[in-house]
């Protein structure tokens, strides 16, 4: 390991691995990944199910299999990896302080940094479930790590709160390992994960799903003994008389993910309160010059394929910055993207028109409300339509994207604001 | 007699809701699919439903106590628990390479179970 690096990547999940690979490919000489676990791969190592890579690689891989490809490629490109080391601090001058059992205290200087710390799960404290505080309430991802990597079963009889993909996949996994999954409860009136996971994780094993239901309280002293489930109205208020006591010894929470940005916040990177991640430009540069961000640390993706894609862009941008191919200040003439009709947020937050001279720029967004009808995803500068494409439907759980074409260069260069709308399409 | 059932296609993340009209195990008509994998899935669901299976097996001398494994092809749905029992009895030695065969021709299905990753 060296003292100075062209690019230092924080985290070796799919975003970090892709960033390191792209940085090397773009000509960065010394690239280092710092990882707190004892092996690279991040959360993919515990996602042992298949379904990864279908979109971008056109192959159906398991999580560890998907990680393995990128670990092998990073190794072949001579990316340095510092394992078992936790980054404690990153300064705007791009000095990285890390510490670990093997390496001790390490201080490194980087010409460019890629933040790829991923995201964290929401916990019981964040959704405020009343009742006792016994053992046996865990996040679904924690349980996944125990069952798939460490080899422990956290209980025998489960209730799962949240119909996101992790919750449903854990329902199947626990059933495979001989546990009884009594129920999956979802506060929304619709499934929040993918339909295919409803089929192959719940329907296949007769695991009941109740929509518009939540946990009213947890019962038990030392260990969970039951949860009280309740139906909710459209404002999430419990409907009296619909309570049901479900005996169980474990409650798993699959209630959302939040980008992990303690380090970013500490170093003064500006964060978007809607996504929970840094404000970024089309190359994923944050508000701090030379500091880039890749993957779920920016906004939570549905598919790992798109995390890889974002990591590749961030890594290439970081290498170009490190090699002095781009300015040391963020571009001055940038155009800001704005969430318009039925759009919750847009990433990137700003676009430098010059980027369009090299190729199209992809915008990604989520809608506020589901639209089960044909829609246009469109970008406008004032009244000028810059780009649009058709979708069969738009759902909050499924990220949308829109390419700004190269021919939009002149319009984007003159524009100050690009508004993205998702509107009804008359077929 | 013709009968119409709703199936959700699991071939890709889109998850199309298929209306499958069939006579016994013979598909007559499929609507609601957005690609030609939908009708194929519907026919397979009626005659020979299969699923990819991923689980873990014990590993001796590995960097972790468990090795993740997966079926090389979708496995007959009705025999998944039988397969899991067979894999639970298995113990392999490290080091293991990704895609190494862990259980060949599982339960005589012609499908191999492979390692998902390298394990030193």
Q: What is the pLDDT of residues A300-344, one digit of tens each?
A: 999 999 999 999 999 999 999 999 987 655 555 689 999 999 999
In Å, how far is B1's CA from the nearest CA of chain A? 26
What distance in Å separates the CA atoms of residue B62 and residue B64, rounded to the nearest whole number? 5
Running DSSP on this structure, what letter comes out for residue B86? H
Is the Cβ pair B117, A68 closer than 8 Å? yes
Task: Indicate yes or no: CB of A62 within 8 angstroms of CB of B54.
Answer: yes
Q: Before A233, cis peptide (omega within 30)? A: no
pLDDT at A331: 55
- Which letter, b or e, does each residue of A401-417 get, where b requires 16 or more Cβ atoms within 10 Å of its Cβ? ebebeeebeebbeebee
- Tell me the domains of chain B and their CATH numbers: 2-47 (no CATH), 54-115 (3.10.530.10)
The per-residue pLDDT for B101 is 98
Q: What six digits make up the tokens of A284?
A: 């994923």
Coil vs helix vs strand at A151: coil
Answer yes or no: are the C-beta atoms of A140 and A40 closer than 8 Å.
no
This model of the complex carries an ipTM of 0.93
Backbone angles phi, psi at B47, to 5 degrees: -105, -40
| CB contact (8 A) between residue A196 and residue B70 | no
Rounded CA-CA distance A271/A161 in Å is 29
Residue A427's pLDDT is: 61
Number of other CB atoms surrounding residue A39 within 10 Å: 20
Q: Which residues of A touch B116 (CB under 8 A)?
A: 48, 62-65, 68
Smallest CA-to-CA distance from A260 within A278, A274, A246, A242 is with: A278
Q: Report the pLDDT value the prediction gives residue A357, as an integer from 0 to 100.
A: 92
Most B-contacting residue of A12, A42, A47, A49 (CB-CB within 10 A), to test interface: A49
- Return d(Cα A90, Cα A63) in angstroms, integer: 29
Q: Which of B50, B68, B83, B111 to mutate to test the interface with A (most CBs of A within 10 A)?
A: B68
CATH 3.50.50.60: which residues of chain A? 1-121+256-330, 123-255
E strand or H helix at B87: helix B80-88
Alpha carbon of A75: minimum distance to chain B alpha carbons (Å): 13
The single-letter DSSP state of residue B54 is E
Residues 6+ apart with CB under 8 A from B84: A176, B53, B55
Alpha carbons B97 and B115: distance in angstroms, whole number = 7
Question: Hey, which residues 90-119 in chain B have their CB within 8 Å of chain A?
Answer: 98-99, 116-118
- Mean pLDDT along residues B69-86: 97
* Separation of alpha carbons A33 and A281, rounded Å: 22
| Chain A residues in contact with B8 (beta carbon < 8 A) | 195-196, 198-199
Q: What is the CATH class of A123-255?
A: alpha beta
Q: Are A265 and A259 in contact (CB under 8 A)?
A: no
C-beta separation of A412 from A381 below 8 A: yes
DSSP H or E run through A70: helix A63-76
Contact A74, A97 (CB under 8 A): no
CA A230 to chain CA centroid, nearest Å: 30
How many helices (H) and strands (E) chain A has is answered by 9, 27
As a whole number of angstroms, the distance between CA B6 and CA A158 comes to 29
Q: Name which of A64, A196, A392 is nearest B116 (Cβ-Cβ).
A: A64
Distance CA B8, CA B10 (A): 6
Nearest CA in chain B to A72: B118
Predicted pLDDT at A426: 83
Q: Tens digit of pLDDT for each residue in B7-58?
A: 999 887 778 899 999 998 899 999 999 899 999 999 999 999 999 999 999 9
- What is the rounded distance in angstroms from the CA atom of residue A304 to the CA atom of residue A297? 13
Q: Which CATH class is domain A1-121+256-330?
A: alpha beta
Q: Do residue A195 and residue B56 have CB atoms under 8 angstroms apart? A: no
- pLDDT tens digit sequence for A78-93: 999 999 999 999 999 9
* Residue ranges in chain A whose pLDDT is less than 70: 327-333, 427
């Amino acid at each position: 390991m060296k003292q100075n690096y062209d690019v230092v990547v924080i985290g070796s999940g799919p975003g970090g691995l892709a960033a390191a690979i792209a940085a090397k490919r773009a000509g960065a000489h010394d690239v280092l990944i710092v990882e707190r676990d004892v092996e690279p791969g991040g959360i993919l190592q515990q996602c042992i199910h298949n379904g990864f890579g279908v979109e971008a690689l056109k192959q159906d891989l398991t999580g560890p299999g998907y990680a393995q490809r990128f670990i092998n490629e990073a190794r072949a490109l001579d990316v340095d990896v510092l394992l078992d080391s936790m980054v404690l601090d990153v300064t705007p001058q791009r000095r990285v302080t890390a510490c670990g059992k093997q390496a001790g205290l390490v201080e490194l200087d980087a010409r460019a940094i890629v933040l790829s710390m991923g995201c964290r799960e929401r916990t019981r404290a964040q959704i405020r479930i009343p009742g006792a505080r016994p053992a046996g309430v865990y996040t679904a991802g924690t349980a996944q790590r125990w069952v798939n990597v460490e080899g422990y079963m956290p209980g025998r009889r489960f209730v799962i709160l949240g119909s996101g993909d992790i919750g449903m996949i854990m329902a199947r996994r626990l059933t495979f390992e001989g546990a009884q999954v009594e129920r999956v409860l979802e506060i929304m009136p619709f499934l929040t994960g993918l339909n295919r996971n409803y089929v192959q994780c719940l329907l296949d094993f007769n695991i009941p799903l109740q929509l518009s239901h939540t946990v009213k309280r947890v019962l038990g002293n030392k260990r969970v003994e039951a949860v009280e489930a309740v139906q909710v109205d459209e404002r999430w208020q419990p409907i009296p008389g619909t309570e049901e006591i479900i005996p169980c010894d474990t409650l798993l929470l699959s209630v959302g993910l939040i980008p992990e940005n303690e380090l970013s916040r500490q170093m003064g990177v500006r964060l978007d309160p809607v996504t929970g991640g840094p404000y970024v430009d089309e190359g994923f540069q944050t508000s701090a010059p030379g500091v880039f961000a890749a993957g779920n640390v920016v906004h939570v993706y549905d598919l790992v394929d798109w995390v890889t894609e974002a990591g590749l862009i961030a890594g290439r941008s970081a290498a170009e910055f490190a090699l002095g191919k781009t300015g040391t200040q963020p571009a001055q003439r940038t155009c800001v993207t704005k969430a318009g009709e039925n759009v919750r947020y847009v990433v990137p937050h700003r676009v430098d028109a010059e980027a369009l001279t090299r190729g199209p720029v992809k915008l990604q967004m989520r809608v506020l409300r589901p639209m089960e009808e044909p829609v246009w995803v469109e970008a406008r500068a004032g009244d000028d339509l810059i780009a649009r494409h058709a979708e069969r439907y738009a759902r909050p759980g499924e990220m949308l994207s829109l390419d700004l074409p190269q021919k939009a260069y002149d319009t984007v260069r003159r524009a100050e604001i690009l508004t993205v709308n998702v509107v009804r399409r008359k077929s | 007699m013709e009968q119409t059932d709703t199936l959700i296609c699991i071939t890709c993340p889109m998850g199309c809701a298929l209306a499958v009209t069939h006579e016994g195990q013979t598909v007559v008509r499929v609507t609601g699919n957005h690609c030609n994998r939908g009708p194929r899935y519907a026919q397979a669901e009626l005659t020979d439903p299969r699923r990819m299976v991923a689980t873990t097996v014990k590993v001796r001398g590995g960097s972790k106590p468990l090795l993740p494994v997966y079926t090389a092809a979708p496995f007959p749905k009705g025999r998944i628990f039988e397969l899991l029992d067979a894999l639970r009895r298995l113990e392999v030695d490290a080091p293991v390479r990704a895609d190494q065969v862990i259980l060949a021709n599982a339960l005589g299905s012609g499908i191999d179970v492979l390692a998902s990753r390298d394990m030193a």
